[in-house]
Amino acid sequence: MVKRIFITAPEAYQPRFVDAFRRSGSQGINPVFMPFICTIPMLDSAELQEFVDGYSSYDYVICSSRMAVSVLAKSGIVFSTTDKRIIAIGKDQEAVRSMLHVEPAMQDAEPSMMGIVEALKHVECISSKKIAVLLPTFVGLPVPSTITNFMEALAELKACVTPVYCYRTSALCEDDYPKVLDMLSKEKINAIALTSGGEAFVLACLLRYAEAQGKSIDVPIYSFGPYTTKCACEAGLTISGTSPHFHSFDDYVQFLMEML
């Protein structure tokens, strides 16, 4: 019997998920994709241009996501092959190599925002360093606690930290809720897979909407790592399982296969 997993990740991540399912060799799981958030680069923003102009003055540039790496790649900055200032999370380091053609810094850091903070704590004279953090602005979504906590933890390092808001993350429009509920019903979904706190927030809103419509949804919800689970719980969701490994989508797909 084929199991259907409803995946709420942004559209840009879908090819990576498809490849992960293909590599898993599973014949009994069918992913159903419905992005709950979308991201759009803000390449023309004055804030990004100011960062680009002053790029060489930063000791470290932290990319909060793969989209942040993509924005860097399109920013017009000419990167040196010896550049050692770009920090990315987990598998996003591969994007740094493929898009920017440089080796990322702090490759051994735990693949999370707080993992980056812990790695920075070991940098000599960190309080004298200048750090840029490439971040999203949010539309229809609260700022995830993972980002808030991350920025607060960075501030405690006493370094000069500059947030650079270079792309926009927007929630699924409420007008699309009926379509999503129809998908969840017709596709006979066996599980919902979250990959971010923003998706968790949208799902919580969707479930409340469904209940108000007399169409409550009782489907197990799985999470891509403890940080996503934390945001999901803050949004009021009950998580049925959290992937203990969150280095890649291959890890997550393997976890989902085991759960189903």
193-233 per-position pLDDT tens digit = 999 999 999 999 999 999 999 988 889 999 998 889 999 99
Q: Please check whether residue 94 is in contact with residue 71, taking contact to mean a CB–CB distance below 8 angstroms.
A: no
The reported pLDDT for the residue numbered 28 is 79
pTM of the model: 0.83
Count, residues in the chain: 260
* Separation CA 138–CA 153 (nearest Å): 21
The reported pLDDT for the residue numbered 1 is 67
For residues 128-145, give the mean pLDDT.
95
* Separation CA 62–CA 229 (nearest Å): 23
The reported pLDDT for the residue numbered 111 is 86
For residues 156-167, give the mean pLDDT.
97
Q: Please check whether residue 23 is in contact with residue 252, taking contact to mean a CB–CB distance below 8 angstroms.
A: no
For residues 39-63, give the mean pLDDT.
96
* Separation CA 63–CA 104 (nearest Å): 10
Domains along the chain with CATH numbers: 3-36+172-259 (3.40.50.10090), 40-169 (3.40.50.10090)
Regarding predicted confidence, which is higher, 98 or 28? 98
* Separation CA 116–CA 216 (nearest Å): 39
Confidence of residue 72 (pLDDT cuts 50, 70, 90): very high
Residue 71 structure tokens: 């924005």
Q: Please check whether residue 244 is in contact with residue 130, taking contact to mean a CB–CB distance below 8 angstroms.
A: no
Helix/strand/coil for 257: helix
